[in-house]
Structure 1
Amino acid sequence: MVDRGATPAAGAQPDDWPARPELSLALNRIGTFDWDLDSGRLHLDPEALEILHVPTEEFEGHITDIGGRVPRSDAVMLDSLVARAMKDGSETYGAYYHVRDDDGALHWTYTQGRILRDEQGRPCRIVGVVRDAAEELSHVAEPRDGAEEPRHQTTVVETTTAALAHARTVEDVIDFFKDSRAVEHLGADLLVLGLVDSGRIHLVAEGPEEHYIPGTRYTRIDDNFPMSEVIRTLTPRFIESREEFATSYPWLWERIKDIGISSAAYLPLIAQARPIGALGLLYREGRGFTRQERNLFIALGSSLAQSLARAMLFDQEHDLAEGLQQSMLPRRIPDVPGAQIAVRYRSARMGRDIGGDWYDVIPLPGGRVGAVIGDVQGHDTHAAAVMGQLRIVLRAYATEGHAPATVMARASSFLHELDTDRFATCSYVEADPSTGMLQLVRAGHIDPLLRHPDGTCRRLPLAGGLPLGLSAEFGRTDYPVTTVELDPGETLLLFTDGLVEQPGADLDDGMQILAGIVRDGPYDLQALADKLCDVVEERVGEDDMAILLLRREGVAARGGGRLQQHIAPADPEALSAARHMIRAAVRAWGARERSDEIELVADELVTNALLHTDGAAVVTIRMLSGPERRLRLEVEDKSSTLPRRREPGESGVSGRGLLLVDRLADVWGVESRGTGKSVWCEFVVPERHERQEAD
C-alpha cells in the first residue's frame, strides 16, 4: 500500500505516478455515487459513506438511508434543486449542504451530479461526486489582507443569497441563521436576527446560543436598542468601537461587554417599504466600516429581506390554502363500534397549490361504515371546489343505501355532468366491523394495503374501473366489487398517490417502500398515521396526501353480524352486489351447507319485491345468537300489500316463490313496517363442532 504521507526523493519519480483516479479522490476526500432513478437504487462508494457519516451496515442502497443525516432545511433545498434540474432539462446540478455525524455535529458537504436521460429525454440516472467542504468553507472565517477583504465581503453576500434562495418558509430562513456555522459563514463573531411581530421585535435566532442576553427575546420598537433603532429609522447602524457602543446603548453594553464585542453592523430588513425585522452582525475586534463594506452589508440586508418577505408570503398562502382544504374535509370522524379509524391530510409544500385529495367516513345503518379516499385532478382552488362537491355527493349516495358499485357509478355521472374538465380517482369501502366483511370499489385509484396483526403488510389488488367522470364520458360505469374479510386486528390502509410517489421513482417502488414502513411502524393506529405523515414531511412533495386507516377490533363474535343492501327497481348492479353480499356472508358465518337454500330464497324474495311493488327493496342478512345459531334474511319494501301463498298448477310458471320459501326455510313470516312490510325467514346454522359430532 502506498504511504500517502511519504515524500519521494528529489528528482525521483514516484512509483505510482501519475496517481490513479481513486487515489486522487480519496486524498481529496471525494466520494462517488450512482443513483438509478428507475429502480430507486443508490450506490455510494466507501469514501462517500464516510463523508456522509453513514455506517456501512446501515446503508441498504436507498436514498432514504441517508435522509436522517441531512437537516430538514438542507434536505428541502436539495430535493427542490434536484427536482427542478430534472424537470427543466439541466444536465448538472451542484449544492453545498450540511450532514450530521453520530454526535449531532454538522459538517459542510458539497454534491455535484450529472443527470443522464433516456431516448425520450426522461431522467433515468444521476452519477456524481460528494466531497467534504468543511475545509474550503472554513477559509471564509480566516483573516484576509486588505486586497482580499472586498472580494471576501462580496463572497459572503453571494453565498448567503444563494443559500437563502432555497428557503421556502420563514422557518427555513430562521434555520439558516440558527445553524452553528452561520456565524462563520457570515464572517462575524456573533449574530442576532429579529422579526417584527405585533408591534414588538421577536428575537428568533442568535449565535452562538450561549451568548443569549436575558430580556432581549421580545423588545419594543421604541426601546433604546440598535435593532429597534434601525427598524424605526429604516437606516443601517454601524458601531465601530466599544466606546461608541457603551455611549449609545448603555443597558445592552453592560450585558455584552464581557463577551468582548467591539463593533457591530445592524441592518434593517425592509420589504415593500416597510420594516419586517433586523439583522445584527457583531465583531470582537474594533473595526471601521468602509463605504464599500457598508454598501455590501446593505445589499446583504436587502437580499435577506426579500427572502423573508417571499417566505412570509409563502407561509400565508400555504396557511390559507390548507385552511380552505381542511374546511372541506369532515370536521369529525364518527365513532364506529368494533373498529378504529385514523385519518390524516398533508398539503403540498407549494404555497397556494391547494389539492383535491380528500377522505370521508360515512356512518351507515346496521353498524356498517363507508370509507372514502379520493383525489381530484389538479392543484388549484377549482380542484378543491370539485372535491368538496364530490365528497358531499358520495356521502349522499352512500347514506341512501346504494350498493358500493352504484355509489361509484352515480358519482361518476355527477362529475361528468358538472361544468368541469376534471376527473377524480377514488376508492370506496363499505365495511361491517361485526363480521369483518368489506366490499371495495376502485375508480382508477391506487390499490390499498392490508396489514396483518403480526405486522406483515401486502398490497390488496382490486378489480377497478375508470376514474370518476371518465367512466361516464365513455359509457363504462360498471365498477366490479371486491369482497374481502377483515380479521380482528387487521388494518386496511387507503391513501392517495402523494404518499408513495417520489421524483424519479416508479410507483411500484414507492408501494414497496411504503409497505416496509407500515410493516416496521407502530401498532397503535394513530401513531402509525403520524409515522406515515413524518415520511411525507421528510421530502418536498408537489402533491398533497390523504390517508385513511381502518382496523377491525376484538374477536369475531358468535352472533350479531349484520349486512344490508339497498336495491333500486332498475339497478342490476345493486342486485348483483346483494347476491355477492349474501354469498360472502354465508361463507364467512360458517353456513356453507345451506348456502344454496339461502341464496335461492333470497332471490325469490327480492324478485317478488321488485316485481310486485313500485319501489326499491332493502335486503338485510344477519346472524342471531341464542340457544342455536340462526341466519335471518329480511327483504323490506314500501308496499303494504301482504304476500299470499297460492298453488301454481302443473303448467303454471309463477306462484312458486313462497312455496320455495316455505319448503327451504326453517321458519318465515311477514311483518308490517309502517309504510311498508318486511318478509323474513330464518335458517338454523349449527356450530362447526356440532356438525363434526353429527358426522
Structure 2
Amino acid sequence: MTAGISGRAGRAEGLGSARLRLLETAAGDQPDAVALPLALQQATAGLHGLGGLLHHRDPGGTGPLRLVALSGLPLGTVGGWARIGQDADAPPARAVRGGEYVWLGEDVLGIGAAGVVSVPLPGRAGPVGALTVLTAEPGEPDPARRRLLHAVAGWASGRLGAGPALGGTGTGTGPDPVVRALDTMADGFLTVDEDWRITFLNRAAERHLGVGGAALGSTLWDVPAGHVRAMECHCRRASAERAPLTFDLSRPGDRRVSRVRLVPLPESGLAIFFADVTPQRIDEETAGERGAAERTARVGELTVALTEAVSSRDVVRVVAEHVLPPFGADGLVVERLEGGRVRVVDSVGYGPDFLSLIDGIPLGDNTAVSDALRTRTPMFVESKAQFRRQYGELRGVTVKSTKNAWAFLPLIASGRPIGCCVMSFARQRSFSQEERTLLTAVSGLVAQALERARLYDMEHTRAQGLQRGLLPKSLPSPPAVSAAARYLPAGRGDEVGGDWYDLIPLSADRVALVIGDVMGHGIAEAATMGRLRTAVRTLVDLELEPDELLGHLNEIVGELGDDYYATFSYAVYDPVARTCALALAGHPPPVVVHPDGTVRRPEVSVNPPLGAAEPPFDVHEVDLPEESLLVFCTDGLVDAAGRDIDEGLAQLRRTLEEAVARTSYFPDGRSDERTDRLEALCDHLVATLLPDREQTSDDAALLIAHTRATPPGDVAWCSLPQDPRAAGQAREFVRRRLAAWGLEELEMTTELLVSELVGNVVRHARGPVRLRLLHSRSLICEVYDGSLTTPRIRRAGYTDEGGRGLHLVAALSQRWGTRFLGDGKCIWTEQDLPSVSRAGTDHQGRVPSASK
C-alpha cells in the first residue's frame, strides 16, 4: 500500500508516502491503543487539521459505530460521536453507508473547525468503520490529501481486523522425565509431544488452564487455553523455528493475563511455562492508558491553544506551556527562515548572549537546524558528545550551552520549510519511537500556527508603523509647558487602535493640549485618528475657541458614518491668566496635581463622544496654581486588568499622590531636568496601571504637562484712546517697557509694528483699544479691539496711498496672526529676542528684565 502511494506524482503524495512509512515504522509492534492514535495523528497532520477520530462497526454489521481512537481533541468535545447510529446523518455514518468519501464544509462539533472529512475503513464484506479528520483550513481537501486519507484508513482497517497468521508443524519424542520434579513450582508448567498431547502438567498449570489431572494425554487444543487462536499460532511457530518464544495470553471472557514462555525440548515437543501477570499487566495498561490519555489531552490542548495564538510570540508561549512539560524539556528556541538566514523568533530557557550566537546563522552552514530544514526530517541528538561528533565546528556553541540533548523539528507549511523548533534538555536522553512520532506531529501543528502568526505580525507591524507615523515624533517645549507622553499599543488582539495625543503652541505663550481615542480597532480607526489629528492642527491654527473647534470635529466624525465615534479632550492653557479652558467629548477630565502634592479631578460636565454629540459643547475654565501637573489619558490606561474606568481613575489618583509624595516634579532647574522627571513619572504610571501589558487588549495614551505661569513683571498692559493720538501713546509705552526689559534693540521695529496695528484699529475697527506686551522667549505685541473684522493682506496698486500696513507687519515680525474673542479680536506679532550669551538668559530662555 505504501509503495502504491509513493508511486503517485506530486509533492503532496510524496509527503503522504513519507507519513505512511513513518506510521508503519512507529506503530510496528505497538498495541492498537497506541498504533491507531498514531495513524490519526498522521492523517490530521497531512490535512493540517485540528484532530481525528476512528469509528469501528461491530462484526455483525448491524450495531452502531463505536469511537475506538481519538487524536488531537479532548474527549469532552466529541461526546456526541462516541456512538453513532448507522442511519445517522453524521459524516462517519454516511461514509460507511455509501462506502465513499464524505466532505462537509461546516463546524459540526462547534470547536472552530473549517470542515469535516470522513472516509470508510475497507473490509472484505464492505466498510467496517470510518476515519474522520476535522480540518482547520477552509475548502475541500485536494485529491492527493484524499488519497492519503484512504491509504491511512486501509492501514487502520488492517490493524483493527488482523490477527497473527503464522503456522507450522513440529515433531518430538515426548517429555523429559526430569520435568516431573517441577510439579511443585509456583508457576504453571506443562509439556506436549509432537502431536500436541499433554504429557505433563503441574498443579499450577492445572489452575492456569482450568483443568485437572485428567487432562494428561489430551490434545492441547482441547483445553480452554488452547482454544485461543494466539496460543496455537505461537506454539506452532516456536515448534517450527525451534526457538524460545514469550507472549501474553488472555482468554475470552477472562480478565486474567498469563505470560507464556515456550521452550522447544531437545528432540521434539514443547515445554510451556505459565505465570500470572494480571496485576503487573493492569498496572502497565493503566500507566500506558494514562500516558496515552495525557499525551492525547496535551496535543488536544495544544491544538486549541495554537488556534488562539495570534502573534509569533504567542505561538512560542503556547509551545512552551503545552509541549515542554510532557517531555521534560527545559529549553525552547523557535527560529524562522528569513532571507537565507535562520532568525530567532523567541525562546525559553536561554539568555541573550547565547541567542546572539545562533541568531542569523546562514542556512548554508553545517548546523543541525540547517540539516533539519534541508532534509525536512526531524533530528534527535541524544548527548553533547553526539552533537560535537556531528557538528565539530560548532564546539563554541555547545561550550556556552548548558543543554545536553536536543530535538530539531523542521517546521513545514504549505510544502516549504519556514523555520525550526528546537527543544533542549538539561540531561542527555534517548527518544523513543513514540516520542519521535508525536514530536513530528506536533511540529506540523506548530508550523501552521507560526505561518499564520507571521502574516499577522507583518500586518500588525505595518499598522503600528502607520499609527506611530501619525503620532508626534517629539513634543515641543513652549515657554509655559514641559510635557512627556506615552503611546502603548495593545499587547494582544488582532488590530491597532486609534488613540492619539498632541501638544500645540498657540499665540501669547498659550498651549493646546489634545488627547483622543477613535472607538474601535483596526487600520480604518488608525487612519481616522490621523485625519482627526490633522483636522485639529488645522483648526487650532485658526485660533478657534474650544467649543467651536469641537463642533467642527463633530461634523467631521459624523460625515464618516454612523459607526464612527471618538472621545476627545481639548484644553487650552493660558500662562498669563493661569487658567485652563476645557472642552470634553466623552472623555474623562484630566487629573490636576498642585505644587503642594494635592491631587484632584475637576468636577466638570462631559459631552457625548464626537459623532454622537449635538453642539453646543460646554467649555469649563479651571484655575491653576503657578505650577501644576495636568495628567491626561485614554481609557486603555485605566480601564484594564479587570477593573472599570472609575476604579482605574481612582488608582491613577492614588498612584500620583504616592509618586508626588516621594519626588518633586516642580524643580527650579533646567527645562531638560523637568522633562526627565516627567518621563520617569510616565514610566511609573504605566508600570503601575498596566503591570502586564502583554495581556491588554486595548491601546492607551498618556500625556503629562507641567504648566508654569508667566511672571507678572513680564506682562505689560496699556489702554489707548480710539483717535489718532493712540499710535503715539503706544510708541511711548513701548519705549518705556522695552527699556525696563533691556530690549532697546527692538524699539524701532516694535514702534513700527504697534503704530501700524493701532492705526489700523483706529481707522477700521472700534474700541476699546488695548495694547499688551509679553516678554518671553520672544517679544509678543498684542493689540485688542472690539471688532470681529478679519484683517487680511491685500495687493496694493502702485498709486494706492494705503493697503501696505500688513505687508510691513509680516516683514518686520517672525510670526503674526489674529485670534477672536467673545467681545472682539486680538492681532498679535512675535519678534525674536536679540542674541545673547547663555549666561545672560534665565532657565526659560528669556533675557532677564531690568526690573528683576
| TM-score computed with the length of structure 1 as normaliser | 0.55
CA spacing shift, 1:509–1:236, aligned 2, 3 Å: same
> Does the 8 Å contact 1:398/1:404 carry over to 2?
no
CA spacing shift, 1:501–1:288, aligned 2, 3 Å: closer
Partner of 1:289: 432
Rg: which structure is higher? 2
How far the C-alpha of 1:449 sits from its partner, in A, is: 0.9
> Does the 8 Å contact 2:310/2:494 carry over to 1?
no
Partner of 2:696: 541
Q: Distance in 2 between matches of 1:258 and 1:457?
A: 53
Is 1:550 equivalent to 2:705 in the alignment? yes
How far the C-alpha of 1:182 sits from its partner, in A, is: 7.9
How far the C-alpha of 1:194 sits from its partner, in A, is: 3.4
Provide the secondary structure at the position in 2 that maps to 1:529: helix
Is 1:278 equivalent to 2:431 in the alignment? no
CA spacing shift, 1:310–1:278, aligned 2, 3 Å: same
Q: Distance in 2 between matches of 1:513 and 1:494?
A: 14
Q: Distance in 2 between matches of 1:210 and 1:635?
A: 67
Q: Which amino acid is 1:499 matched to?
A: L
> Does the 8 Å contact 2:306/2:315 carry over to 1?
yes
CA spacing shift, 1:188–1:151, aligned 2, 3 Å: farther
Aligned residue pairs: how many?
A: 451
Q: Distance in 2 between matches of 1:632 and 1:244?
A: 84
CA spacing shift, 1:562–1:327, aligned 2, 3 Å: farther
Q: Distance in 1 between matches of 2:495 and 2:435?
A: 40
CA spacing shift, 1:155–1:418, aligned 2, 3 Å: closer
Partner of 1:507: 645
What does 1:481-496 align with in structure 2 at a 5 Å threshold? 481-496=619-634
What does 1:375-454 align with in structure 2 at a 5 Å threshold? 375-418=517-560, 421-454=563-596
How far the C-alpha of 1:340 sits from its partner, in A, is: 0.7
For residue 635 of structure 2, the aligned residue among 497, 503, 507 is 497
How far the C-alpha of 1:362 sits from its partner, in A, is: 1.9
Partner of 1:526: 679
> Does the 8 Å contact 1:268/1:301 carry over to 2?
yes
Is 1:347 equivalent to 2:501 in the alignment? no
Q: Which amino acid is 1:552 matched to?
A: T
For residue 328 of structure 2, the aligned residue among 169, 180, 187 is 187
How far the C-alpha of 1:381 sits from its partner, in A, is: 2.8
Provide the secondary structure at the position in 2 that maps to 1:196: strand
Provide the secondary structure at the position in 1 that maps to 2:447: helix
What does 1:120-519 align with in structure 2 at a 5 Å threshold? 150=292, 153-154=295-296, 157-158=299-300, 167-174=309-316, 184-188=325-329, 192-202=333-343, 204-205=346-347, 207=349, 216-239=358-381, 248-252=390-394, 264-282=406-424, 284=427, 287=430, 289-290=432-433, 292-418=434-560, 421-471=563-613, 476-502=614-640, 504-519=642-657
> Does the 8 Å contact 1:337/1:433 carry over to 2?
no
> Does the 8 Å contact 2:357/2:397 carry over to 1?
no
How far the C-alpha of 1:317 sits from its partner, in A, is: 2.3
Q: Distance in 2 between matches of 1:261 and 1:428?
A: 57
How far the C-alpha of 1:190 sits from its partner, in A, is: 5.7
Q: Distance in 2 between matches of 1:338 and 1:382?
A: 36
Q: Distance in 1 between matches of 2:701 and 2:625?
A: 24
> Does the 8 Å contact 2:384/2:428 carry over to 1?
no
Q: Which amino acid is 1:509 matched to?
A: E
Q: Distance in 1 between matches of 2:768 and 2:373?
A: 72
How far the C-alpha of 1:394 sits from its partner, in A, is: 2.3
> Does the 8 Å contact 1:561/1:622 carry over to 2?
yes
Is 277-286 or 395-404 further displaced after alignment? 277-286
> Does the 8 Å contact 1:361/1:372 carry over to 2?
yes
Q: Which amino acid is 2:369 matched to?
A: M
CA spacing shift, 1:152–1:413, aligned 2, 3 Å: closer
Gaps of 5+ in 1: 1-143, 564-608, 626-630, 641-671, 681-695
Gaps of 5+ in 2: 1-285, 666-676, 718-760, 776-780, 792-804, 810-817, 819-823, 827-852
> Does the 8 Å contact 1:559/1:623 carry over to 2?
no
How far the C-alpha of 1:446 sits from its partner, in A, is: 1.3
What does 1:576-591 align with in structure 2 at a 5 Å threshold? none
> Does the 8 Å contact 2:302/2:319 carry over to 1?
no
> Does the 8 Å contact 2:508/2:774 carry over to 1?
no
> Does the 8 Å contact 1:356/1:379 carry over to 2?
yes
Q: Which amino acid is 1:459 matched to?
A: R
Is 1:635 equivalent to 2:635 in the alignment? no
Q: Deviations over 1:87-140 (max 9, x none)?
A: xxxxxxxxxxxxxxxxxxxxxxxxxxxxxxxxxxxxxxxxxxxxxxxxxxxxxx
> Does the 8 Å contact 2:421/2:443 carry over to 1?
yes
How far the C-alpha of 1:229 sits from its partner, in A, is: 0.6
Provide the secondary structure at the position in 2 that maps to 1:277: strand
> Does the 8 Å contact 1:266/1:279 carry over to 2?
yes
Provide the secondary structure at the position in 2 that maps to 1:559: helix
Provide the secondary structure at the position in 1 that maps to 2:627: coil
Q: Which amino acid is 2:621 matched to?
A: T
How far the C-alpha of 1:337 sits from its partner, in A, is: 0.5
How far the C-alpha of 1:298 sits from its partner, in A, is: 1.0
How far the C-alpha of 1:439 sits from its partner, in A, is: 1.0
How far the C-alpha of 1:356 sits from its partner, in A, is: 2.3
What does 1:87-106 align with in structure 2 at a 5 Å threshold? none
Flag the structure with more relative contact order, 1 or 2, with Cα contacts below 8 A and sequence separation at least 6. Answer: 1
CA spacing shift, 1:454–1:189, aligned 2, 3 Å: same
Q: Distance in 2 between matches of 1:329 and 1:619?
A: 41
What does 1:555-566 align with in structure 2 at a 5 Å threshold? 557-561=711-715
CA spacing shift, 1:617–1:271, aligned 2, 3 Å: farther
Partner of 2:796: none
CA spacing shift, 1:282–1:171, aligned 2, 3 Å: closer
Partner of 2:37: none
* Aligned-residue RMSD, C-alpha: 4.6
CA spacing shift, 1:441–1:242, aligned 2, 3 Å: closer
Q: Deviations over 1:533-572 (max 9, x none)?
A: 333362433322222222113x661233599xxxxxxxxx
> Does the 8 Å contact 1:213/1:255 carry over to 2?
no
Partner of 2:152: none
CA spacing shift, 1:241–1:544, aligned 2, 3 Å: closer
What does 1:13-32 align with in structure 2 at a 5 Å threshold? none
How far the C-alpha of 1:441 sits from its partner, in A, is: 1.1
CA spacing shift, 1:197–1:405, aligned 2, 3 Å: same
CA spacing shift, 1:537–1:248, aligned 2, 3 Å: same
Provide the secondary structure at the position in 2 that maps to 1:235: coil
Provide the secondary structure at the position in 2 that maps to 1:470: coil
Q: Deviations over 1:481-531 (max 9, x none)?
A: 211122233111122111211365332112101111222236421112223
Provide the secondary structure at the position in 2 that maps to 1:465: coil
Q: Distance in 2 between matches of 1:257 and 1:363?
A: 58
CA spacing shift, 1:426–1:273, aligned 2, 3 Å: same
